[in-house]
Chain A
Amino acid sequence: SQQGEEDPQALSIQEGENATMNCSYKTSINNLQWYRQNSGRGLVHLILIRSNEREKHSGRLRVTLDTSKKSSSLLITASRAADTASYFCATDFRMAANSKLTFGKGITLSVRP
């Protein structure tokens, strides 16, 4: 399967702590994206990192990509209760003219106030 796999499946931390979530994949990618989902409804795009990038920042988010290990990590610094959500990594295995994101099963993050 080309599907990315996140770990851990669930993470519970105290407000103010950092949360680190990992994603591994199996084949070469064009890019990797992280999305967030609240309450089982629509996903919100957080950050995209291209295959030629190693690290990217956006506010309290830091994403790294190691193409040699086929893995990525999402770090949320100084977590807040509002960060409680499911987080998905999605990999772009673009083939021919199609662009198709393959999503993992997600990580459930709980931030305790």
Chain B
Amino acid sequence: GAGVSQSPSNKVTEKGKDVELRCDPISGHTALYWYRQSLGQGLEFLIYFQGNSAPDKSGLPSDRFSAERTGGSVSTLTIQRTQQEDSAVYLCASSLGWGVGLGTDTQYFGPGTRLTVL
């Protein structure tokens, strides 16, 4: 079946512009995660959606970052007034989700969006 998809695969923008990154999770997955990975670094957790619960936004680095998940499926990560330090690969992952009786979850990752802020 289809995996997690993200678009665009690459995005180059100018400092100060807003960008939107999209994630289509695996159908039926109730949990969706956004991570950021800077060059040569590990993954930095940004935000987590689980079903209809309030999202866990504890990883968002500033109020310039926000994310939505509409209809429990597609998610959009928005970065306003981009800065050069926002340049990174943004990874989305989905999983079956908590409480489905499978214990803890395996996360399935998309290919990422490489964001470059000039």
**A interface with B by C-beta (< 8 Å):** 3, 30-31, 33, 35, 40-45, 48, 50, 88, 92, 94, 97-106
Contact = CB atoms under 8 A, between A and B. Distances in A.
B41 A102 contact: no
Interface in B66-98: 89, 91, 93, 95, 97-98
B91 A42 contact: yes
Contacts of B53: 97
Contact of B50 (A33, A43, A44, A97): A97
A100 B107 CA distance: 10
Interface in B12-47: 31, 33, 35, 37, 39, 41-43, 45
Contacts of A35: 109
A97 B54 CA distance: 11
Contacts of A43: 43, 91, 93, 107, 109
A103 B43 contact: yes
Interface residues of B, number: 31
Nearest to A108: B40
Given A44-B109, A97-B53, A30 B43 contact: no
A42 B37 contact: no
Contact of A40 (B89, B103, B104): B89
| Among A44, A97, A99: residue with most chain B CB under 10 A | A99
B45 A102 contact: yes
Contacts of A44: 109
Given A42-B112, A97-B98, A48 B45 contact: no
Contacts of B93: 43
B103 A50 contact: yes
In the A-B complex, the 7 residue pairs with the closest CB atoms? A105-B42, A103-B43, A42-B109, A43-B109, A42-B111, A31-B104, A103-B42
Contacts of B39: 40
Given A88-B42, A88-B43, A105-B42, A99 B50 contact: yes
A30 B50 CA distance: 18
Contacts of A31: 103-104
Contact of A94 (B33, B91, B104, B112): B104
